[in-house]
Amino acid sequence: MDLKVTIGKTTFENPVWAASGTFGNGDEFQDFLNIGEMGAVVTKTVTLRKKKGNPPPRLVETPSGLLNSIGLENKGIRCFKKEDLPWLKRSGTRAIVSIAGETKEEFVKCAEELTGRHRPDAIELNISCPNVSHRGGKHCLFSQDPVITERIVSAVRRSTGTTLIVKLSPNVTDIGIIAEAAQNGGADAVSLVNTYFGMAVDAEEMRPCLGNVTGGLSGPAIRPMALKAVRDAYNSVSIPVIGVGGIMTGTDVAGFMLCGASAVQAGTVNLVEPAAYKRILREFIAYLKRKKINRAGDLVGKLRI
């Protein structure tokens, strides 16, 4: 069975990856998984300088969902390059480094740090984190503005030859327009969705449940909306779309691929079941066998309508 998928210059052994922010930098999962067998690991987002993150509580569970406001806590890209990236690269998986910045220049500087022996297999631009503020632009998130999206992507594109994936927010009127902007900027793929804006309230205490008041919703609760967003993006661009949003099983993977995803990222499930990856891939392969499909790629966009 052929599970391979190629995005930009990078070939991945299979289309099931771990989503950013739900898998640390991989090492926490070694007790449960052989990281080297994974299609790819997208790291927790790193920024140019270290970030302290948001005040607690940073998490609250909602019906079939998880609301978080971590706030991109990380130790900064130089430290990440020294302490985490070499290990992840040696593990044998494809290392996708998620980067974010408060300005276009910071995105470029981050990408420039990831060169030479620190070059990952791909870079994912997180222009869609719902829990941080940034400078410039009239929108709350970079990825809510097609002009800024294109500007950031093309600036990073000029600074690196590494495969470039752009992570998009679903908190927009028309995700197709934003996906197109990323494509025009020179992205090799778009990944979606990042989390949905949300909040939870403790009515007894008359307070928001999160320390940062609002957060981003993930988990199976958002899967129907994510599937729709993936289909919209797939219908708008010619570059590959990577599906993210509440994947729990191998059939969920198939669902996203039928809607147009070339690969998927499983996220929240990793926090519930640290060995989930193994099960999901096994279930997906069983699905392909059952459907007598020899190439995973043959599933992409084949929704019968």
Partner 1 sequence: MKPNVTKRMIKGTILANRQIAPEHFVMDIGSAWLARKSRPGQFISVRVMDGVTDPLLRIPLGIHRISETGVSLLYGVVGPGTALLAKRKKGELIDTLGPLGKGFDLSAVTRKKNAEALLVSGGHGVAPLYALAEAVTAKKRKAVFFIGAKTGKHVVCEKALRKLGAAVHVATDDGTRGHKGYVTDMLRKYLERGARDPQRTAIFACGPKPMLAAVAKEAERSGIPAQVAYDEYMACGIGACRGCAVETVQGIKLACKDGPVFAADMIKW
- Provide the binding-site residues for partner 1, judged by CB under 8 A: 21-24, 28-32, 34, 44, 52-53, 56-61, 63-66, 68, 70, 73, 90-91, 219-221, 248, 268, 270-275
Q: Check if the beta carbon of residue 191 is closer than 8 Å to that of residue 167.
A: yes
CB of 74 to partner 1, least distance (A): 8
Cα separation values, 236 from 231, 233, 302, Å:
9, 5, 16
Upper half-sphere CA count for residue 223 (Cβ side, 13 Å)? 22
Nearest Cα residue to 267 out of 200, 302, 216? 216
**213 vs 272 by CB, closer to partner 1:** 272
How far is 165 from 159, CA to CA, in rounded Å?
Answer: 14
**183 vs 270 by CB, closer to partner 1:** 270
**87 vs 197 by CB, closer to partner 1:** 87
**52 vs 138 by CB, closer to partner 1:** 52
**70 vs 189 by CB, closer to partner 1:** 70
With a CB cutoff of 8 Å and minimum separation 6, the contacts of 42 are 17, 18, 19, 20, 23, 96, 97, 98, 124, 265
Nearest Cα residue to 40 out of 61, 23, 57? 23
Nearest Cα residue to 233 out of 194, 198, 291? 194
CB of 139 to partner 1, least distance (A): 26
Residue 24 φ then ψ, to 5° = 50, -135
The tokens for 296 are: 């995973």
CB of 273 to partner 1, least distance (A): 7
Q: Which residues are known to be catalytic? A: 129
Q: Check if the beta carbon of residue 7 is closer than 8 Å to that of residue 263.
A: yes
CB of 46 to partner 1, least distance (A): 13
Q: Taking phi first (over 0 means left), then psi (-120 to 50 degrees means alpha), and beta for anything else, what does residue 141 get?
A: beta
CB of 36 to partner 1, least distance (A): 8
**56 vs 161 by CB, closer to partner 1:** 56
Strand, coil or helix: 255: helix
CB of 143 to partner 1, least distance (A): 22
Nearest Cα residue to 177 out of 240, 237, 87? 237
